[in-house]
Structure 1
Amino acid sequence: MDRNLELEVELPAESTDVRRGGSAWALYAIGIAFSVFQIWTAAYSPISSLVVRSVHVGFLVLMIFGISAELTKNKAHATLLWSLGILGFVLGLYHWVYETEIMLRSGIPSMTDLVIGVIVIILVFDATRRLMGWALPILCGLALLYGLFGEYLPGALATRGYGLDQIIEQMFMGTEGIYGTPIYVSSTYIFLFILFGTFLERAGMIKLFTDVSMGLVGHLKGGPAKVSVFSSGLMGTINGSGVANVVTTGQFTIPLMKRFGYSSVFSGAVEATSSMGGQIMPPVMGAVAFIMAETLGVPYVEIVKAAIIPALLYFAAAFWAVHLEAGHKNLRGLPKEMCPSAWGALKAGWYLILPLAILVYLLFSGYTPLFSGTVGLALTIVLILGAAIALNLSGTALRVIFWVVLGLLCGSFFEFGITAIGLIIIALIAGNLFVKGGRETVRLSVDSLAEGARHAVSVGIACAIVGVLIGIFTLTGVAVQFAEMILAFGRSSLFLSLVLTMIACLLLGTGLPTIPNYIITSAIAAPALLELGVPLLVSHMFVFYFGIMADLTPPVALAAFAAAPIARASGMAIGWQASKIAIPGYVVPFMAVYDPALMAQTGDWLATAYMAFKAIVSIGLWGAAMVGFLHTKLNWPERIWATAAAFLLVLALPITDELGFGLGFLFIVWHWWRSRGATQSEPA
């Protein structure tokens, strides 16, 4: 994998200067054009969905080859790469120019269609390889070969045979291949929400979250590690990228944890675990939530409702683990005077919270993610601009008048339907003409447009190429074979089927990002779990969570290796430690399968409350067993005892809850009795 290229896209805005000289200027302009195109189509819907998808892929190819050209020192090679990128973008306009003709000859593609289709597929494969390495292109390439030559395979694997023209038409001409559901979601919801998060990050949301976290928990026992968990959970609400969270918040939290006594490995593991949890924290959820909602045909808010309790449990587990580790090593928090005021931070940056609050309100009020994201993005710019202008006004009365006028303007957005584009233009013009703070906001906004496009590239190209795999699944029906294998296991044991699905997700996750991992495994395994009686949404959440856990699970553990250079420790060691801290992340999905009330799927809130309580008790026992500490150090029989009690609470078989609660209660009583007179500073 070209690690430099991947990091160029994944690094946070503060770490890169998007306006450097040379070809970076071209990339800067392309990023702005890409973002403006996406906002324009989201606000007005002026062209068909297929055309938006095609142009979206064209922009992705252009930006990836442009980034590759920027990194190479060979001018001839750079020229070739730019030429390929421009070719990909021009071919992305093919559906726009010839949309009517393509529809009229549906099913009988012309030679031009086939040639252009082959070129676009090759460019998408090569762009993915350059950005994400070989794993995903090889997997999708094998799927293409299966579609072409599957008729020669033996037994149940054999297909009826498909010609090259059928394969290319499936991949390129319609909405079943490259331009399928994943790229549709990327070109609408995902891009807008990534842009939304980028605006907030560049406006100071990272500092706000960090200051609030420091003020609330920094002075507590083990405070630096708790700051990492808390701030990463907050960051997850606007940024669904685990690796990006590691390199963003980790630059501050990992050295802080090390300075106050945590080991390098544990510090990196806490940050990796917390950052990956951002992908399950609503409302963004690593963009998978939007794909899931579109795939299942359910309102986005239903995905959020199902995810919220497991997400809170995940972060509670990480918080509990660092608390126990602090007690084990007698680690103190930050001095109170070193911690900023949480209330003071909120008073200074309250306007940054409003767009996020409005976004959540709109989503829970039944508005579409596309509308909510567009409104949230527009109000982000308006409120940031308003703060910049207000800070330059003298006198309390002037500031009050200004905010009232701005509030009325925002209110008119809902009342009279002023478009997001118009509101953004008003904000930019007003800021540029009147005050220095407004001009700075304009610069921040334009830089965010460019940077947001670069952040969206890795997600978008993964959605494009994974459409190849989904297209072959649809064409050949091969997913049925795997589903039947899971069903065969499930007839004897649902648990074995779940374990098999978990292993498939973890193995795929060793080479694939979360989004393609989810798309592939949900297409294969989720229908089989549904046949075994697992609710559809729960089955999709199951594969989604284990796709995320793959980034913490060695040998690959991308989040752990991202934390390694900051922590100055082995990525593999960090991965194993992170897996221990995140053990509830492996457990909660199983609990939800055995009792969907944990994901609020039964409509019985008492049952949901009971499941949440049971999960908290189980997490508490898991954490004590993994860290080896509760009130004092646990011996091995006690750790095994706590593990057995926690495992029984996971199952939903007759009397397992009773046994789990009973063993857990006896364990706590025994440990309390044994540890009387012992101190928390007892040596390990």
Structure 2
Amino acid sequence: MRIEASAPDRGQESFSEHGVTRRLGGRWLTVVSAVALAFSTYQLVVAAFHPFSSLVTRSFHVGFLLTLTFLLYPSFRHGARLSKVGAGDTALAIGAFLLCSYQWLYEGELIQRAGDPTIADLWVGTALIILVFEAARRILGLALPLVCGAFLLYGLFGNYFPGDLAHRGFGFGQIVDQLAFGTEGIFGIPTLVSATYIFLFILFGSFLEHAGMIHLFNSIALGFVGHTKGGAAKVSVLSSGLMGTISGSGVANVLTTGQFTIPLMKKFGYSGVFAGAVEATSSMGGQIMPPVMGAVAFIMAENLNVPYAEIVKAALVPACLYYATAFWMVHLEAGKKRLLGLPKEQCPDPWQAMRAQWHLVLPLAALVWMLFAGYTPMYAGMTGLSLTAILILGSAIAARLSSTAFRYVFWLAVGLSSATLVKWGVYPVLAVIVALVAIAFSVKGGRHTLHNLKNALIDGARQALPVGVACAIVGVIIGVLTLTGAASSFAGYILKVGEHSLFLSLMLTMLVCLLLGMGIPTIPNYIITSSIAAPALLKLGVPLIVSHMFVFYFGIMADLTPPVALAAFAAASISKESPMQTGLKAVQIAIAGFVVPYMAVYDNALMLQGNPSVLAVAYIVGKALVAIVLWGAAAIGHLRAPLAAWERVIAALAAFLLVAALPLTDELGLALAVLFILWHWRRSIAGAGETAP
């Protein structure tokens, strides 16, 4: 029997991160599919031809987001008819798109009367703000709308607040104009990034999934680590890490790879809690794993006005350390419970899988090269998307080639010609895609391939909804903070704390991220915290990218931290275990996610900032790896053999000394680590000799 590394069946999902979706059929399914196709087509046209001004591009993007949200998500989870869309939601969907078209119809007039809205402007702006709040409530729950509503109330009534909390006061018209028609409200930078980079990369991930990338990743993971000690869990770490390179969504990763890896781990001896925690931890790392990181990375690049490649460079080493930690924790747990790997003969041959599907890596390789060659994320994303579309369409032709050699030549020719055509612009690439579509109609299996391509476009549009709606509503916070200047108050408090201790300032920022993350997604969490904390950390000497990455990391950790740990909840829905216990175990496994950001603040070489030497990077990475080994041993209670309580304390102390940035702590930590490892090695050998027959 061979273990199949198949893609998971999305129909098995019992957890919904973003509310309850309607299960439509018949004409309603056709309508929703048509709107989703129109949405994806619009975004591709915008990326390729830029037909509208920036504000109009953003407004139509929000219009599609709201329309699809009202069609797919009922107003209430319980008692709703999920098989059809009611008249009220149909009216809201149409009305939302018309309201967002207002920016396009009256663009010139709105620019001329900026700051002095008419009565019609106020009605349209107010209705649009209300609909954005309602869409966010349906798709993201109550927490984020309540937080944004608190900021909105502060903007309207903050002049009545006591002391330094008060602002000078703003009229209703000023607030509506700021939020509904300016570039620092609903149509602010987050929406701009969602309408350009983020959508393209979500669509890119959707295309690769439909092309068969998940199957390839699972086969590689099973083949390389499935037969090792505790191999089932190592498969989860490796496959989720690979999936993270194209997905950028933690919970989505859980619900794809987790359908395959969690039952596999339970089958080979891991507890359901540990299996769910491993999958949740591994999947959340996808948001920090280059080249396609989470949506926050693109917003960060736009906010800091730096190339996306700089964000990727800063995230690369910490992301590798994050997955090294998860892998090490799994290895220790397997040793503690004496869990074996999968039988070698049941694991697929990874080299054969790569030989059969190597062409799927071409778009990802092109994307990485273009990002580091200085191309914009939008151009790189469009290129990767075009190459993936060509691969999907070309698969129908490749399947008709009987010889493996012919298929090699075909895919190589497709890859080389596509890479050459990209340099000539969008029109030659479009010509190739149109030609392949025409050929697909006449080739056996070609219509199925076209159907697959259509589904990738529809799925991409649906996957973009929670991210896009979050970007839109968080614009309310940005607009109010910009208008009132309230961010400076909290930043001033952090500065006061930091005068005495940078560590306390970092701890305060971390706690704010974790508290906000109990109810809101990573994007608004990052935007709120970075707006008020990152400037203060900069004044305390923390480089801008490092301070923003610090906030980003702990926004991600919030999705693993109980009581509201969405990734753990998703994994628990598959493992059928307690979400709370799964979340607590995930925090233990992801300990590097809590330690590495602090190390990066005190030594920027960990994020490759400040042009560090190779020796400096090697030293901090080596120190981090030793700390990870010790943290893991202390947390699991096992290294080569079980650890006594006092040994776990010594290991934890040595790891803490390596993380602390105080005089002589590195020397003391390394000395204690060497002594501990030598002692444990000697004791484990002696123990093995005593138990040997």
User: Fold match, TM over 0.5?
Assistant: yes
Aligned twin of 1:370: 378
**Counterpart contact for 1:276–1:559, Cα < 8 Å:** yes
After superposition, the C-alpha distances for 1:618-652 in whole angstroms (9 at most, x for unaligned) are 00100000000001111111111111110111122
CA spacing shift, 1:112–1:59, aligned 2, 3 Å: same
Listed as ranges, the matches of 1:13-92 within 5 Å are: 20-69=25-74, 72-73=80-81, 78-92=86-100
Aligned twin of 1:227: 235
Alignment RMSD: 2.2
Offset of residue 399 of structure 1: 4.5
Mean Cα deviation higher: 64-73 or 201-210: 64-73
Residue 340 of structure 1: SS of its match in structure 2? coil
Offset of residue 349 of structure 1: 1.2
Listed as ranges, the matches of 1:239-318 within 5 Å are: 239-318=247-326
CA spacing shift, 1:186–1:299, aligned 2, 3 Å: same
Aligned twin of 1:506: 514
- Output the CA distance in 2 between the equivalents of 1:680 and 1:585: 38
Aligned twin of 2:5: none
CA spacing shift, 1:77–1:457, aligned 2, 3 Å: closer
Pair 1:386-2:394 in alignment: yes
**Counterpart contact for 2:237–2:282, Cα < 8 Å:** yes
Pair 1:479-2:487 in alignment: yes
* Correspondent of 1:489 among 497, 504, 508: 497
Aligned twin of 1:632: 641
* Correspondent of 1:150 among 151, 154, 158: 158
Pair 1:563-2:571 in alignment: yes
After superposition, the C-alpha distances for 1:511-549 in whole angstroms (9 at most, x for unaligned) are 011111111111111111101000000000000000000
1:669 maps to a residue whose letter is L
**Counterpart contact for 2:22–2:82, Cα < 8 Å:** no
1:611 maps to a residue whose letter is I
* Correspondent of 2:535 among 527, 531, 538: 527
**Counterpart contact for 2:211–2:391, Cα < 8 Å:** no
**Counterpart contact for 1:65–1:84, Cα < 8 Å:** yes
CA spacing shift, 1:404–1:203, aligned 2, 3 Å: closer
Mean Cα deviation higher: 282-291 or 173-182: 282-291
Offset of residue 468 of structure 1: 0.3
2:69 maps to a residue whose letter is I
1:565 maps to a residue whose letter is S
Offset of residue 173 of structure 1: 1.2
Aligned twin of 1:197: 205
After superposition, the C-alpha distances for 1:284-314 in whole angstroms (9 at most, x for unaligned) are 2111111000000011100000000000000
- Output the CA distance in 1 between the equivalents of 2:599 and 2:168: 41
After superposition, the C-alpha distances for 1:331-366 in whole angstroms (9 at most, x for unaligned) are 000000010010111111111111011011110100
* Correspondent of 1:466 among 454, 459, 474: 474
Offset of residue 68 of structure 1: 2.2
Residue 290 of structure 2: SS of its match in structure 1? coil
* Correspondent of 1:600 among 602, 605, 608: 608
Aligned twin of 1:414: 422
Aligned twin of 2:665: 656
**Counterpart contact for 1:618–1:650, Cα < 8 Å:** yes
- Output the CA distance in 2 between the equivalents of 1:311 and 1:621: 19
Mean Cα deviation higher: 475-484 or 437-446: 437-446
Offset of residue 168 of structure 1: 0.5
- Output the CA distance in 2 between the equivalents of 1:5 and 1:321: 28
* Correspondent of 1:341 among 333, 343, 349: 349
Mean Cα deviation higher: 357-366 or 402-411: 402-411
* Correspondent of 1:616 among 606, 611, 625: 625
Offset of residue 422 of structure 1: 1.8
Offset of residue 69 of structure 1: 4.7
Residue 555 of structure 1: SS of its match in structure 2? coil
Aligned twin of 2:556: 548
**Counterpart contact for 2:144–2:519, Cα < 8 Å:** yes
Residue 237 of structure 1: SS of its match in structure 2? helix
After superposition, the C-alpha distances for 1:241-274 in whole angstroms (9 at most, x for unaligned) are 1111111111111111111111111111100000
Structure 2 length as normaliser, TM-score?
0.94
- Output the CA distance in 2 between the equivalents of 1:667 and 1:398: 58
- Output the CA distance in 2 between the equivalents of 1:249 and 1:107: 50
* Correspondent of 1:135 among 118, 131, 143: 143
2:637 maps to a residue whose letter is G
- Structure 1's unaligned 5+ residue stretches are none
2:61 maps to a residue whose letter is H
CA spacing shift, 1:565–1:75, aligned 2, 3 Å: closer
Mean Cα deviation higher: 562-571 or 313-322: 562-571
Offset of residue 670 of structure 1: 1.6
Offset of residue 680 of structure 1: 12
- Output the CA distance in 1 between the equivalents of 2:175 and 2:458: 35
**Counterpart contact for 1:351–1:387, Cα < 8 Å:** no
Pair 1:643-2:652 in alignment: yes
**Residue identity (%):** 60
**Counterpart contact for 1:270–1:581, Cα < 8 Å:** yes
Residue 196 of structure 1: SS of its match in structure 2? helix
**Counterpart contact for 1:514–1:547, Cα < 8 Å:** yes
The number of residues matched between the two structures is 675
Offset of residue 108 of structure 1: 1.2
1:230 maps to a residue whose letter is L
Pair 1:357-2:365 in alignment: yes
Mean Cα deviation higher: 590-599 or 70-79: 70-79
- Output the CA distance in 1 between the equivalents of 2:96 and 2:570: 31
Offset of residue 98 of structure 1: 1.0
Aligned twin of 2:4: none
- Output the CA distance in 2 between the equivalents of 1:680 and 1:118: 77
Residue 436 of structure 1: SS of its match in structure 2? coil
- Output the CA distance in 1 between the equivalents of 2:458 and 2:19: 14
Offset of residue 378 of structure 1: 0.6
Offset of residue 423 of structure 1: 4.5
1:291 maps to a residue whose letter is I
**Counterpart contact for 1:228–1:249, Cα < 8 Å:** yes
- Output the CA distance in 1 between the equivalents of 2:17 and 2:562: 24
- Output the CA distance in 2 between the equivalents of 1:428 and 1:254: 39
Aligned twin of 1:434: 442
